[in-house]
Structure formats: structure tokens, C-alpha cells
Amino acid sequence: QVQLVESGGGLVQAGGSLRLSCAASGGTFSNYAMAWFRQAPGKEREFVAAITWSGSYTFYAEAVKGRFTISRDNTKNTLYLQMNNLKPEDTAVYYCAVDSQSRWRAPTKEGGAYNTWGQGTQVTVSS
């Protein structure tokens, strides 16, 4: 059973950058699609970005396209989210998730497809 631990969140001014990491353990990380989601106070969880098991294909929510980059290093069992040009509306708890139910399955923006989630890391962007 894969377990996930996020890190790298914090407080940053608008226009700044952060890089989130998600360390995986307890399973074969490299076989599975992964994604980042976020949840702002009083709002529903929303999709941010997803990546295939190999890292060869990625896709993003429109709100972050061109500013955020998802990547993975399967040799380090780690997923990343590079966030540039941050805006106050990016403030949220960010979660990584893995679809470990089926090897090599294509990623999706649907949260229900991911069966394992991290505990989340807070990102706060001040104006």
C-alpha cells in the first residue's frame, strides 16, 4: 500500500514561487498515475495537475496552466509541483494523490479515481 507525504508549502508573496514535494513509500510508485489537488477554505477540492506513470504526459487545470509544472522522479519515489507566479487565489491546502488500483492507467482529473492521498500541505499567498 502506497503512502504519501507532502512537503514544501508555506507563505509567499504574490508573484513568488514554491515547489511542493510528495514522497511515496510502501509500494511501486513508478507504476501509477498521480495528481495534485487543492482545497481552499469554504470551497470544494479541485484538480490542479496530473501526470502519467512514466512522466511522459501531463495536464493541468486552466487556472494554473502556464504557471505550474507537475513532474516526478521515479528513482526517488517523489512527485513535484513547481508553482510560479503565485496568486492569492492559489491559497489552499495542496494534496497529492495516487491511483494505485491499476498499473499504467491514464491519469484523470476526477478525485474519485485516486485511492491514496497525502495529508496535505498549506500554501498561503499574500497580496
Of 16-20, 26-30, 47-51, 123-127, the poorest mean pLDDT is in 26-30
Of 4-8, 100-104, 117-121, the poorest mean pLDDT is in 100-104
pLDDT tens digits, 1-18: 789 999 999 999 999 999
Query: Which three-class secondary structure state does DSSP give residue 111?
Result: helix
pLDDT at 19 over 90: yes
Burial of 74 (0-12, 13-18, 19+ CB in 10 A): middle
pLDDT tens digits, 64-76: 999 999 999 999 9
Q: Which residues of 12-50 are buried (b: 16+ CB within 10 A; e: fewer)?
A: beeeeebebbbbbeebebbbbbbbbbbeeeeeeeebbbb
- Please give the pLDDT value at position 119: 97
- Please give the pLDDT value at position 101: 87
